[in-house]
């Protein structure tokens, strides 16, 4: 015969804690003020810590390097190059596979093309790191595992160094 464990009561602070699934995807920090949901109730007052914020907090990059990385990420998203997007709700029933991107998207793509060429191209370590870690928001570890350098995977420290160098190049490009 098995004994039943007493049911633990959930406290209010536990109800607002990040879920175990969310914690499995990386670091989160508690915000000073809770965020209200659509009905005005307090929601989970946490936000994810991205790679750039974590590196700045550790002191491995400067504030200007973080801003340069955030500008690159914004340009990347304006260029609509991330593979996952929501469906366009205003589209018509007819299919149009030859639709051309708008003017602002083309400007963002042109700017991104110039940046990528300035850091050595998409296939260079710096360009690839910026594209995947900052643009596509992969972790440094995910990017490092997928890279092969002389038939060996990059270790995370080397990959971090590549990202730091790439962010330094971005910062220098913004100063021009």
Q: Domain check: are 138 and 158 in the same one?
A: yes
Q: Domain check: are 57 and 130 in the same one?
A: yes
Distance between CA atoms of residues 105 and 170, nearest Å: 20
Count Cβ atoms within 10 A of the Cβ of residue 53 and give its class: 0-12 exposed, 13-18 middle, 19 or more buried.
middle
Which contacts qualify for 143-151: CB closer than 8 Å, 24 or more apart?
149/125
Look at residue 148 in the predicted model and tell me its pLDDT: 76
- The answer to the question of residue 57 being in a domain is yes
Q: Domain check: are 23 and 58 in the same one?
A: no
| Number of separate domains in the chain | 2
Distance between CA atoms of residues 155 and 140, nearest Å: 10
Distance between CA atoms of residues 12 and 15, nearest Å: 5
Q: Helix (H) and strand (E) counts for the chain?
A: 8, 4
Q: Domain check: are 108 and 41 in the same one?
A: no
User: For residue 34, which of 56, 12, 50 has the smallest C-alpha distance?
Assistant: 12
Q: Domain check: are 25 and 36 in the same one?
A: yes
The pLDDT tens digits along the chain (176 residues) read 555 544 444 444 566 677 777 666 667 777 677 677 778 776 766 667 788 988 998 999 999 999 999 999 999 999 998 776 666 667 665 555 556 778 999 999 999 999 999 999 988 999 999 999 999 988 898 899 888 766 777 888 999 999 999 999 999 998 76
- The answer to the question of residue 75 being in a domain is yes
Q: Cα Rg for the chain, rounded, in angstroms?
A: 21
Distance between CA atoms of residues 88 and 83, nearest Å: 14
Q: Domain check: are 159 and 72 in the same one?
A: yes
Q: Domain check: are 141 and 118 in the same one?
A: yes
- The answer to the question of residue 7 being in a domain is no
Look at residue 41 in the predicted model and tell me its pLDDT: 77
Look at residue 125 in the predicted model and tell me its pLDDT: 92
> Is 159 strand, coil or helix?
helix
Q: Domain check: are 56 and 43 in the same one?
A: no
Residue 47 DSSP class: E
Greatest pairwise CA separation for the chain in angstroms: 76
Task: Give the domain range for residue 26.
Answer: 17-48
Look at residue 22 in the predicted model and tell me its pLDDT: 67
Look at residue 36 in the predicted model and tell me its pLDDT: 74
């Amino acid at each position: 015969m098995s004994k039943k464990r007493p049911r633990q009561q959930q406290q209010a602070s536990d109800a607002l804690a990040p879920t175990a699934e969310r914690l499995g995807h990386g670091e989160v920090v508690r915000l000073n003020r809770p965020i209200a949901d659509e009905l005005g109730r307090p929601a989970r007052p946490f936000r994810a810590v991205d790679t750039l914020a974590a590196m700045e907090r550790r002191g491995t990059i400067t504030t200007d390097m973080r801003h340069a990385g955030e500008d690159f990420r914004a340009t990347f998203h304006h260029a609509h190059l991330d593979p996952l997007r929501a469906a366009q709700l205003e589209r018509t029933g007819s299919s149009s596979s030859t639709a051309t991107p708008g003017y602002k998207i083309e400007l963002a793509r042109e700017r991104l093309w110039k940046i990528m060429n300035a850091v050595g191209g998409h296939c260079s370590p710096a360009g690839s790191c910026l594209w995947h870690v900052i643009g596509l928001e992969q972790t440094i570890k995910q990017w490092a595992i997928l890279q092969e350098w002389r038939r060996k995977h990059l270790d995370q420290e080397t990959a971090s160094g590549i990202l730091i160098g790439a962010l330094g190049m971005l910062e220098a490009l913004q100063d021009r």
